Amino acid sequence: MPVSAQVLRHAADRPRHPAVRGRSGELSYAELAARITGAARRLPDLLGRAAPPSPDLLGRAAPPSPDLLGRAAPPSPDPSGLPDLKAGRGALVAVSLDDPVEMLVAVLAADLAGATPLVCDPSWGPERRAQVMRAVPVDALIDAPLSAPAASPPPPPGAGAPGDPAWACFSSGSTGRPRAVVRTRASWTASFPHLNRLAGIGPGDVVLIPGPLVSSLYAFAAMHTLATGATAVLPGRWSPADLAADLAEATVVHLVPHGLPDVLEALSRTPSPLRTALIGGAALPGGARERGAAAGVHVVSYYGATELSFVAADADGAGLRPFPEVEIEVRTQHGQGLGEVWARSPWLSEGYLAGATGPLRTDDAGWMTVGDLAEPYRPGEVLRLRGRGDGAIQTGGATVVPEDVEEVLRGVPGVGDLVVVGSPHPYLGSVVTAVLETRDAAPPPRARLEAAARSGLDTAQRPRRWYAVPELPRTPTGKPARGLVATRLADGDPGLRRLG
């Protein structure tokens, strides 16, 4: 069932129950349902067409009137009760709004209309946004709140098919080659009951989601909360200063690892009913689970990726084990101590929009990997992760692909070759670090490098540390040896000069 339809159902059963709280106020389920319905009625005007795009979103040739995955669209009438929404079926609707509540309304309106929402970063400037829109087959852009038309009764809940493409979002690390992941409705919604059982979440909970919905982790958290019938608290960007107020009524918090210490610190100063912390995106900080227990907070951590969704979870501190209905393999090469993590499950995505390339790989048996490394694994054992095999950087719950950052920085006048790696950070896990090869020339001023990073890279991708070296170490084939650069940084090699 679409999440929008579940919101309408909750509105009928518990109309006054709080659905969302943001900086601008609160909406009950009845009020949220009315906003969604009104916004959905406006969507066909924005689309201005009845035929879905061609080729399909995965870059494949599509038959006449296909859905987003290239299948023939069913001839049955729109089950939502809104015949004027037929224009939405098969469409890709980009949503870019600063207010997370307004973002949620627009996304759920697209869901109700049978379209696929593509969540975009509202901090993108006009040039960056235009660049992204040219790279993916967007049919409409919502960049202002959708005001509702004249009041009208809500439609009966729809019954969208589980295999319908129902969500698209950008994976961390998208630059001039946008990398957006599309997934079916069931690949998210069917996992909701499993997560509820693991974390003990129900319709009486108040879930704090302290991050932007452009992140797939926070977007999932918001949809899961509303489908469950609980209350979603959406402050938007992470703000430690406002954390105590946000936690005042929260019973659950869903966030990335580096935010947990701030949450536990806030609890030491402010009373809160918080009992559960759901943590995804990277490894937990040392001792975090124990500090949570001391504060009366049950910490449930999980491992996954935007492309794979849930892979493994740790609900009791005993280690990561397969999430329900997930199969895991760690495929090692002869003589190597680590292998790639491959997963097979109902929660996997359909791939990247418009045929974009990325770390996701598949095989003929339905397994997928994004190149994460782990120790050898057998069913029944604990999964022990050891980082990314492709050099990807885990920073504050985001995954940054170094090659994407390097591509932008190579366009700066005066930059020759360079390598981007992760440097250890006590809270973020790693920070993006750029090492420039100078030969005998002076490197460009840091201000020029940072200006290029701001204009061409997303926040998580921008280097926090900059170094210069006369000559980069190289592999036998002449490529920069990324691993050796990272080792030299970790060892404090004096040959690497910090740029001020």
pLDDT, tens digit (0-9, with 9 covering 90-100), for 55-114? 455 554 443 334 443 334 443 333 333 333 444 667 899 999 999 999 999 999 999 988
The CATH number of the domain holding residue 428 is 3.30.300.30
Q: Are residues 180 and 199 in the same domain?
A: no
Parent domain of 248: 191-306
Q: In 82-164, where do the E strands start and end?
A: 92-95, 116-119, 140-142
- At residue 57, the pLDDT reads 52
Q: What phi and psi values does residue 26 have, to the nearest 5 degrees? A: -130, 145
Whether residues 442 and 398 fall in one domain: yes
Strands 361-362 and 351-352, bridge-based pairing: unpaired
451 with 373, same domain? no
- Tell whether 159 and 206 lie within a shared domain: no
- Check pLDDT > 70 for residue 146: yes
**Rounded (10°) angle between helices 100-112 and 3-13:** 100
Q: Which of 365, 388, 411 is the last residue of a domain?
A: 388
Q: What is the pLDDT of residues 184-202, one digit of tens each?
A: 989 989 999 999 999 999 9
Same domain for 434 and 314, yes or no, is: no
In terms of DSSP H, where are the helices of 361-430?
A: 402-409
Average pLDDT over residues 326-338: 83
pLDDT tens for 248-265 read 999 999 998 878 988 999
pLDDT bracket for residue 404 (50, 70, 90): confident
Average pLDDT, the chain: 84
434 pairs with which residues across the strands?
420, 466
Kindly state whether residues 135 and 208 are assigned to the same domain: no
173 and 251 fall within a common domain: no
DSSP classification of residue 285 = P
Q: Is the dihedral of CA 199, 204, 206, 212 positive or negative?
A: positive
Check whether residue 423 and residue 381 sit in a common domain.
Answer: no
pLDDT of residue 3 exceeding 80? yes
Residues 69 and 139 in one domain: yes
Q: Cα(147)–Cα(162) distance, rounded to whole angstroms?
A: 29
| Integer Cα distance of 306 and 359 in angstroms | 11
Domain boundary among 141, 163, 187: 187
Span 447-490, pLDDT tens digits: 999 999 999 998 889 999 999 999 888 754 456 778 788 888 88
Stretch 151-159: mean pLDDT: 46
Same domain (yes/no): 465, 400: yes
- Boundary (domain end) residue, out of 187, 213, 232: 187
Distance separating alpha carbons of residues 418 and 468, to the nearest angstrom? 9
CATH number at residue 230: 3.40.50.980
Strand bridging mode 309-314 / 497-498: unpaired
Regarding whether 311 and 298 lie in a shared domain, the answer is no
Amino acid at 81: G
How many domains are contained in the chain?
Answer: 4
- Same domain for 326 and 242, yes or no, is no
